[in-house]
A = this chain, B = another copy of it.
């Protein structure tokens, strides 16, 4: 294993000179030695030992990314939203010269352990966290933390990235209204804990009330998985719910809904219009192409990393709670009536 000492010996200088060359302290070394040392470093393929550097500098250039799994053994990366977002985050971390250490976490304590074990400079939490967990993490971690999609507080106590869920619900519903629909269903599970869905619901309600469509339908309460979507589509097709359009609060759920409806003779968009939420990349591979509310996942990932890096570098942070915009993506699952 090659060390600073080896390079120093080869170059006939001290270890510190080499170290200074590597760390770009140009004022401390003459041009000639810089070039000579750099050549040797290249020729011998020397790479600094970052473990040792971390130890000495109390900073690791390591960023931990956590994604929570409820069930042990579960592969959370099967969720296209998670993997899309993670990919963007990894890219941003790398391009900023940091390293990504990733862990699926079942027990919050494990995440804290990892951060302390590796002296990580910061961490990003990919999945919705309870307020208790956010408190817990913040209490026991010295490094900055960024929470994505944890919308259980409106305060600026934490560094958070979220999207404008209410706007999403609003423009989705409004779009359906503009296309002539009056009986518009809201499909999603309105449990208190899942405030993301609740926000989307608020947007739905706002659009409906603005349009004077007071008798909106909210009976379609279901989880937002593909399977639940199928059941939901089935229910709608069997006319236990009388709607011409549905705002489905997640893409996979919406895709299931389309399928469930189809299986029961209700074709989308001819007989039923559907708007989803997320614009998952896998939507590109499904026909009919889902009309949906697009989260700019790429932007979200980059912003999360930028926010974290600002905190790590102790730069001033003008906004601790970033709300990303959403857009309607017009495709094939809404029909004008």
Interface residues of A (CB under 8 A from B): 1, 45, 47-52, 54-55, 58, 60, 73, 75-78, 80, 83-84, 86-88, 90-91, 94, 99-104, 112-114, 116-119, 140, 142, 226, 252, 255-256, 259, 262, 281-282, 284-287, 298
Contact = CB atoms under 8 A, between A and B. Distances in A.
9 contacts: A47-B117, A51-B52, A73-B91, A76-B87, A78-B87, A83-B87, A102-B102, A256-B285, A282-B285
Contacts of A104: 87, 90-91, 94
Contacts of A118: 50-51, 99
A86 B77 contact: yes
A199 to B, nearest CB: 25
Contacts of A47: 112-113, 116-117
A231 to B, nearest CB: 15
B114 A99 contact: yes
Interface centre among A76, A112, A116 (most CB of B within 10 A): A116
A90 B103 contact: yes
B281 A78 contact: yes
Given A75-B298, A77-B87, 5 more contacts: A1-B142, A51-B55, A80-B282, A83-B83, A226-B284
Contacts of A49: 55, 116-117, 119
A135 to B, nearest CB: 16
A140 B51 contact: no
Contacts of A113: 47
Contacts of A60: 51
A101 B86 CA distance: 13
B100 A102 contact: yes
A90 B103 CA distance: 7
Interface centre among A49, A102, A226 (most CB of B within 10 A): A102
A75 B48 contact: no
Contacts of A80: 78, 80, 83, 282
B50 A117 contact: yes
A50 B117 CA distance: 5
B90 A102 contact: yes
Q: Which 9 A-B pairs have CB atoms at the shortest separation, nearest pair first? A: A77-B87, A83-B83, A75-B87, A47-B116, A51-B54, A77-B83, A50-B117, A51-B51, A282-B282
Contacts of A140: 45
Contacts of A48: 117
A103 B90 CA distance: 7
Contacts of A286: 285-286
A77 to B, nearest CB: 3
Contacts of A84: 75, 77-78
A289 to B, nearest CB: 10
A70 to B, nearest CB: 14
A92 to B, nearest CB: 10
A19 B94 CA distance: 34
Contacts of A252: 285
